[in-house]
Structure formats: C-alpha cells, structure tokens
Structure 1
Amino acid sequence: MSSQFTSLYRFRDVGVVLIRLAFGFQLVKVSYLNALFPTDNLPQFIAFLTALGFPFPTVGAYLAAYTEFLGGILLLLGLWTRWAAIFLTINFSIAFGMAHLAVNDDYQNTFPAVNLLAVSVFLFLNGAGRFSIDALLQQSPGVE
C-alpha cells in the first residue's frame, strides 16, 4: 500500500459502518411492508415466484421478506452481523440465480441483487467493525 494512504487504515471501521448503515437501511426500507403487512403485500411476490417456477413460493416469499427485514435491522445495529450476512448471502444468491440469471435479466435489474450479495459477503468476511454491538459484546468478559 502506498505510504500516503497508510494513515487512512485507522479509519477503515468508518467505511464498514457506512456500508452497514446504507445497506441495512435499504433492506429495511424495501422489505418492511412485506414483513409487517404480509397479507397485503406478499401475494404479488408469491405470484412472481410462482411464475418463475420457484419451489414452495409461499415459503420462499416469507423467508425472503423476513430475512431481508431482520437482516437489515441487524446490520443497522451491528448485532450478529456475520450470522445476518450468512442468511443474506443465501437469500441474495437465490435471488440472483433464480430471479435474475434464470430469466436472463438485464444488468440494470440484476444490479441491486448483485450489490446486496457482494455487501453480504463482505460483511460475513469482515464483520461489523469497531462501531457495532458485536464489538461491544466481544469486549465483555465471558463473551466470545
């Protein structure tokens, strides 16, 4: 790494928290209606999954809605971040593969799922960073 950027290393956790907040907010924003009012909002998603030939579309719609909503909240808090990231990685891998690649979707429609997948993998590998509940829990005695 170039010496002029070495001093920025101490700010790397700021980048992690910004990623967590931006994507956590996005996940909550796009999923809260499905999660909190499923009878009003999930039928369209279930119909979409059915049209794609998704196995168990009702179960899949509920799992996706709650994974995105709860995962977004956990990212915002920086709580159980790696666990949330595992489930989000699975969710967005399925979304990318079944809802985008399988139908030969264009790049513009695929872009959000790819970004959310990439961020989920990043957070799984890197964790929540210093500014998180996860970091506070690791500092507590008896917590691993």
Structure 2
Amino acid sequence: MLLGRLKALHDLAPLILRLVLGLIFIVHGHQKLFGEMDKFIGTVTGRLGMPMFMAYVAAFSEFGGGILLVLGLFTRWAALFISGVMVVAITKIHWHQGLVKGYEFPLSLLAGAITLMILGGGWMSVDKTLVKKEW
C-alpha cells in the first residue's frame, strides 16, 4: 500500500535530488568563491599541482552548477561538470583518507550527479519547459 503510493510520486525524485545537490554545491562553491578562494587556489596549485585556473573552474562549476540544478536548467550539463569536480576531489584529495571520513561524501555527491545526468531535470524543471519532451 505505502510502496504503491510512493511509486505514484516517482516523478518528484529528480526535483528532490536537484534541490538537495544544488543547495550543497551552491554553499560549497560560494564558500570557495567568496570566502576561501586563496586557500583553495593554494590547494589546487600546491598540493594538487594543477594550474590556478582549475581552482576557478571547480569553484564556478560548484556554484554555477548548483544554481542550475536548483532551477533545473541545463541539468545534465551542470551534473556533468559537477561530476568532473567530484572525480577530481575523490581521486586527488580524499582517496588517501579511505571511504569513511574520506571520500564517502564526495562519492555520494558524484552518485547523485550521475543520477541527474541519466534522469535529467524531470518534469518540474526549466529544462522541461524549454525542451517540451516527455519525462
């Protein structure tokens, strides 16, 4: 009975996932862009050995991608860029710490982003109004 009712609400899943992931990435991107950018640049250039512009790519991908996810605008593209940032975060920053208290959170975010790449923004998204196709 309960599972049958939940199945009727399956179209809400992309919306819930978009809003939660979007909020998380807006907060983390904002923190980098408007608070600790110098520290983040130091991590990217020093510890990771990447060029400085990659710090901006990551921060804008998180902040801008989060906004796009909340709106459901270019959802698959936003999720793709966020997935790239999470792959780098997992492999270059968190991997050596192990799963627990290491890469478990970025891995969860990556799974959510990949899910949105597959599902798209859903019927309650700006994408839906722009593309006009069945979800």
TM-score (norm: length of structure 1): 0.82
Q: What is the CA RMSD across the aligned residues, in angstroms? A: 1.9
1:15 is aligned to 13
Check if 1:105 corresponds to 2:97. yes
CA distance in 2, matches of 1:76, 1:48: 28
CA shift digits 1:83-124 (9 cap, x unpaired) = 1111111111111111112xx114213222111111110000
* 1:46 corresponds to: 41
Indicate the percent of aligned positions where both proteins have the same amino acid: 30
Determine if contact 1:28/1:73 at 8 Å carries over to the other structure.
Answer: yes
Query: Is the 1:27–1:69 Cα contact (8 Å) retained in structure 2?
Result: yes
How much has 1:131 moved relative to structure 2? 0.8
- Once residues 105 and 4 of structure 1 are traced to their aligned partners in structure 2, the CA distance between those partners, rounded to angstroms, is 40
- Aligned twin of 1:75: 69
Taking structure 2 as the reference length, the TM-score comes to: 0.87
Q: Which has the larger radius of gyration?
A: 1
Unaligned 5+ runs, structure 2:
none
Of stretches 60-69 and 9-18 in structure 1, the one that deviates more from structure 2 is 9-18
Task: Return 5+ residue gaps in structure 1 as ranges.
Answer: none
Contact 1:54 1:98 in 2 (8 A): no
2:32 and 2:94 mapped to 1: Cα distance? 20
Q: Secondary structure at the match of 2:121?
A: coil
